[in-house]
Chain A
């Protein structure tokens, strides 16, 4: 058990190193002279030189990378080229918002997916199952930003139940927080719910076909007993995998949803940085988002190893 944990934690190290390469390497991908591109077409020679010096572009790439990584390790991700704010401060503002949004979306998607998948797998082939299957395919197919638009039209502009844009921190006013986050989280959660429903339904059906379920049934166990004790216990292991898959998807999807609902999370900051080519901010956000995703997936995998002895090495 301990060996599995140690192994799994160790395998994330090369992944993290590679991630820093990619996040740092974004600067190198800029076509032409990065300093000229970042400074913009109207920049003077002095301005270009200033950008070059601020980004340290005049030093060897290896030195630049080393400085950036050691800085990142101590929490310094550089300063924004446009607002002159520390990148880490902007991220510290946006990250809790995005995590709250993604977390709520995850809860919503599970609240939809788990009961739907169980019912549809147990009543396989009925109208309910068909409805759930088509519904989940549709849920995947609907673009989240479009769904958000429709929700705003119906619930905010039409019925006036919920605010269309904005965000209130949970510690300021929990009720207002809920009102503001409900539509964005629902928008983000539906695609996740669709995906999870499909995966879970499949895994429950898989478990139902196992020999031990037939044995349990044939020895006269009551159906509720079989479902509750044998099927659900075994089908819950894939649920953990689904969770891991969802986290990266939700973090990425949040960018779009934040844009529609005006939620001031990482996605908003990222989009603003993209339109101004604020490279340090983009690098910082990519790094932090991937870090969150990697840590979440590590936790998921550890939980998976704990639940399922089969994946642990001897």
Chain B
């Protein structure tokens, strides 16, 4: 977890030898990255780093975002986590085509079969549906739910964070009180209440989760903007008459990207747990669709007879959230080092 406990290869010891071949740690995650279009920044790094470009970044020509990407590329935990997420994304994308059986086909003659029965590797549920197939199809639902919640949270939180940080004054005070109030709600309880009035559906549930997470993004962006506003380079840019929109676009936005990436990774984990919790309560995904959370709910109803039903989806949720947490830690390490060298 901590950067210092790892031996030399990851340390930015020698900026002049940034050829990928000198870094044994990055060779292993590379195949994963080939299938990870979601991580353009990271993949651009070890493979195609032009020496001149790399040196420039070290001398501090590439900007904070480029530095951050370079360090993430050297973080083994983060790269493995990205690989796992890429795999999940692939499963989510092609899931319906690779299921061994129809995930919604019922077979009342073979209900609650144990794992490793013929034709059903992970057994069947209370309606005789193939659990492995339902898990595969549920991947897409669970990941889409996370994306929806993150999108709602960022659409609300990021612009407001920019505005309140940049404008400041009374507007900032009002917005901050609002986020104080929003953050004093026990998160799950407010989501439940919102879903109760809007009606249970995955969309409503994730909308509620997104609203609850918006203050995190708002506060984060506001903090970064507040810090940057006083920086010399921003002041210099303002003094030569650069319009405010241009300053935000050119100077402030790029500097918020790396902390935002960390926040996205961490929040994604929480979003997944919230989705699972709401679906477990029957307030998220509605039957016959399945997310991993709603599958635990079904497992809960039959846990005396067939405990496996609930255990498999829980393991998948735990693994995915663990991946997000690890990714967040790795990204934060990259961030921390950057801040340390800059101060």
Whether a CB of chain A sits under 8 angstroms from the CB of B322 is: yes
- Contacting A256 at CB < 8 Å: which of B188, B194, B318, B329? B188
Among B299, B304, B307, B311, the one with the most A-chain Cβ atoms within 10 Å of its Cβ is B307
Whether a CB of chain B sits under 8 angstroms from the CB of A140 is: yes
For chains A and B in complex, what number of residue pairs have CB atoms within 8 angstroms?
165
Q: Is the CB of B188 within 8 A of A274?
A: no
Whether a CB of chain B sits under 8 angstroms from the CB of A124 is: yes
In the complex formed, the residue of A with least CB distance to B173 is A14
Docked pose: A293 CA to B313 CA in angstroms: 32
Known: A15-B181, A18-B177, A137-B329. A282 touches B196 (CB 8 A): yes
Kindly supply a per-residue 1/0 record for chain B positions 168-203, scoring 1 wherever the CB is within 8 Å of any chain A CB and 0 otherwise. Answer: 000000000110110111111110111111110000
Q: Across the interface, which residues of B come within 8 angstroms of A146, CB to CB?
A: 276, 296, 310-311, 313-314, 317-318
Q: Across the interface, which residues of A come within 8 angstroms of B183, CB to CB?
A: 248
Q: Is the CB of B2 within 8 A of A141?
A: no
Q: Across the interface, which residues of B come within 8 angstroms of A277, CB to CB?
A: 196-197
Whether a CB of chain B sits under 8 angstroms from the CB of A138 is: yes
Whether a CB of chain A sits under 8 angstroms from the CB of B143 is: no
Docked pose: A152 CA to B307 CA in angstroms: 10
Interface residues on B, range: 35 or more
Whether a CB of chain B sits under 8 angstroms from the CB of A307 is: no
Known: A29-B198, A153-B307. A293 touches B192 (CB 8 A): no
- Contacting A22 at CB < 8 Å: which of B177, B181, B196, B199? B181
Count of residues in A whose CB is under 8 Å from the partner chain:
57
Q: Across the interface, which residues of A come within 8 angstroms of B217, CB to CB?
A: none
**Nearest 4 A/B pairs, CB to CB:** A146-B314, A252-B186, A252-B188, A141-B321
Whether a CB of chain B sits under 8 angstroms from the CB of A133 is: yes
Q: Across the interface, which residues of B come within 8 angstroms of A274, CB to CB?
A: 192-193, 195-196, 281, 283
Q: Is the CB of A256 within 8 A of B186?
A: no
Whether a CB of chain A sits under 8 angstroms from the CB of B277 is: yes
Q: Is the CB of A293 within 8 A of B184?
A: yes
Whether a CB of chain B sits under 8 angstroms from the CB of A92 is: no
Q: Across the interface, which residues of A come within 8 angstroms of B314, CB to CB?
A: 142-143, 146, 149-150
Q: Across the interface, which residues of A come within 8 angstroms of B5, CB to CB?
A: 124-125, 129
- Contacting B197 at CB < 8 Å: which of A26, A252, A270? A26
- Contacting B325 at CB < 8 Å: which of A137, A282, A285? A137
Q: Across the interface, which residues of A come within 8 angstroms of B277, CB to CB?
A: 143-145, 256
Q: Across the interface, which residues of A come within 8 angstroms of B198, CB to CB?
A: 29-31
Q: Across the interface, which residues of A come within 8 angstroms of B181, CB to CB?
A: 14-15, 18-19, 22
Docked pose: A45 CA to B307 CA in angstroms: 47
> For residues 104 through 134 of chain A, which have their beta carbon under 8 Å from a beta carbon of chain B?
124-125, 129-130, 133
